Amino acid sequence: MALECVPLSDALGAEVRGLDPRRPVSGPDREMLIAAWREHLVLILRGHALTDAQLIAFCRVFGELDPPGPNPYGAPFLSEFPELNVISNVVQDGKPIGGLGAGEAVWHADMTYQDVPPKAGVLHALEVPDSGGDTHFANMVAAYDTLPGGIKEQIDDRILVHDAAHNSAGQLRKGYDETTDVRQTPGARHPLVRTDPDTGRKALFPGRRPHAYIVGLAVEESEALLDVIWQHAAEPRFAIAHHWRVADTVIWNNLCVLHRRDPFDSSARRVMHRAQIKGDHPVT
């Protein structure tokens, strides 16, 4: 069966069919997959359970792996595969087997508090709850394109501070203090509007809302402008929701897409193995 990408919505996303991610992906299939990831921004493969080694090999189709952020418990969740992260609410023998728990994860892109953030995120589902825990993805190219001209003018040359102190569940990372003044937010500074070097397309690059700050503006002005941008970026017309099945793999463009996760029943089990692909250069 030939590789086929079936669009999932007008906003973004495609399901990849006719490709077995457990086997080496090379030649025209590799080129087609990367081209589809650039075009559709989110790719979904269903029904292929992957071992950790197979997941890593598949991720390498898109580039070198970027290690996870600092582990809140001081050691990788998967000692044999430290390049993978575990996202889970499961607690075994009194110890969480992964991060982020069962709560909501608000809209964000991953690790944008780094000078060179990962260009792609990958999640592979090992165990999923019957309901809840859906992951939503929003297209920031479309969000930028549809901003009113006056807002574009206000943000085109602006730099945003991306908070390094909290994870996407809002928990304070080890080694950081809470700050109440967003001008003191620690983290990388990136253009609020980035141009994708591969496609030339402009995209909003808002990272995450809490603790963000637009450099050079009064705090009230920064807050007001960020509220307008986030209200727009989070409009449902730019987004899809992914309801997980075991053995799904999702790869998204971390620099053109935001994601968020619905909360789920904490007594249900959800286990995802996760990788990210190193960015090629600083955000421009």
List of residues contacting ligand SIN (CB under 6 A): 87, 100, 105, 110, 123, 135, 168, 259, 261, 272
- Please give the residue whose beta carbon sits closest to ligand SIN in the complex: 135
Q: For the CB of residue 153, give the shortest distance to ligand SIN in the complex, in Å.
A: 32
CB neighbours (10 Å) of residue 201?
Answer: 16
Q: For the CB of residue 180, give the shortest distance to ligand SIN in the complex, in Å.
A: 25
Q: For the CB of residue 83, give the shortest distance to ligand SIN in the complex, in Å.
A: 16
Q: Cβ closer to ligand SIN: 209 or 261?
A: 261
Angle at 163 between CA 100 and CA 222, to 5 degrees: 130
Q: Cβ closer to ligand SIN: 5 or 86?
A: 86
Q: For the CB of residue 170, give the shortest distance to ligand SIN in the complex, in Å.
A: 11
Q: Cβ closer to ligand SIN: 154 or 254?
A: 254
Q: For the CB of residue 171, give the shortest distance to ligand SIN in the complex, in Å.
A: 12
Q: Cβ closer to ligand SIN: 123 or 256?
A: 123
Q: Cβ closer to ligand SIN: 62 or 147?
A: 62
Q: Cβ closer to ligand SIN: 50 or 272?
A: 272
Provide DSSP, 44-95. Answer: EE-S----HHHHHHHHTTS--B---S--TTSS-SSTT-TT-EEEE--EETTE
Q: For the CB of residue 111, give the shortest distance to ligand SIN in the complex, in Å.
A: 10
Q: For the CB of residue 247, give the shortest distance to ligand SIN in the complex, in Å.
A: 15
Q: Cβ closer to ligand SIN: 11 or 109?
A: 109
Q: Cβ closer to ligand SIN: 40 or 261?
A: 261
Q: For the CB of residue 110, give the shortest distance to ligand SIN in the complex, in Å.
A: 6
Rounded-to-integer distance, Cα 151 and Cα 182, Å: 21
